[in-house]
């Protein structure tokens, strides 16, 4: 059995731990991001219906994320049954903030300070805002969080 020399080990180890070769983004996209369909052809766009569905999904997500609110406080029994995508209506914050929301994410924490919750809310786009233009003009005392 032949044993490797120190030089051969160094060469082999250097080859193993060498950083991968960098390539331009355009080359990587051309090489890895296309799906071959036939000789000389590749798919560069989704089908029209798929593209429209993806565009509508992105539009809906952007509309939901226009306004967000985070609530944190001590947990009460009424908070425990809430889940993601549950509907929440806020009141007492101001005319722009008092509206229908959807729970985007929630966290329950049990610490030495007690049981608490944190809800991240996004606008419920299925329901129109309760505030009208007239009440928005009258309520100038609360800060304009959402513009």
The count of domains in the chain is: 1
Query: Which range, of 79-83, 91-95, 131-135, 143-147, averages the lowest pLDDT?
Result: 131-135
Residue 114 domain-assigned? yes
Task: Give the 3-state DSSP-derived string for 96-135, with helices as H, strands as E and coil as C.
Answer: CCCCEEEEEEEEEEEECCEEEEEEEEEECCCCCCCCCHHH
pLDDT of residue 98: 87
> Please, which residues bridge with residue 123 across strands?
101
Residue 69 domain-assigned? yes
Give tens-digit pLDDT for 59-78: 888 877 788 889 899 999 88
- 92 Ramachandran zone, left/alpha/beta (phi>0; psi -120 to 50): left
Give tens-digit pLDDT for 32-59: 665 555 555 555 555 777 777 888 888 8
Residue 97 domain-assigned? yes
Residue 72 domain-assigned? yes
DSSP H helical ranges for the chain: 6-17, 25-32, 48-64, 133-138
Residue 79 domain-assigned? yes
pLDDT of residue 109: 92
| Greater model confidence, 21 or 45 | 21
Burial of 120 (0-12, 13-18, 19+ CB in 10 A): middle
Confidence of residue 132 (pLDDT cuts 50, 70, 90): very low
* Contacts for 67 with CB less than 8 Å, ≥ 6 apart: 122, 123, 145, 146
pTM exceeds 0.75, yes or no: no
Residue 38 domain-assigned? no
Residue 104 domain-assigned? yes
| Greater model confidence, 35 or 24 | 24
What span, in angstroms and rounded, lies between the C-alpha atoms of 53 and 1? 63
| Residue 121 belongs to domain spanning | 65-132
pLDDT of residue 34: 56
Residue 52 domain-assigned? no
């Amino acid at each position: 059995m032949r044993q490797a020399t120190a030089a051969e080990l160094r060469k082999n180890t250097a080859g193993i731990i060498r950083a991968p070769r960098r390539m331009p983004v355009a080359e990587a996209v051309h090489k890895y991001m296309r799906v071959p369909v036939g000789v000389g052809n590749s798919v560069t766009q989704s089908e029209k219906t798929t593209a429209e569905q993806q565009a509508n999904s992105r539009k809906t997500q952007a509309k939901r994320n226009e306004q967000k609110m985070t609530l944190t406080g001590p947990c009460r029994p009424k908070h425990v049954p809430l889940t993601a995508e549950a509907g929440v209506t806020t009141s007492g914050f101001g005319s722009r903030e008092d509206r229908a929301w959807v729970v985007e994410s929630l966290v329950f924490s049990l610490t030495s300070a007690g049981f608490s919750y944190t809800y991240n809310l996004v606008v419920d786009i299925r329901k129109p805002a309760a505030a009208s233009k007239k009440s928005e003009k009258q309520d100038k005392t609360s800060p304009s969080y959402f513009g």
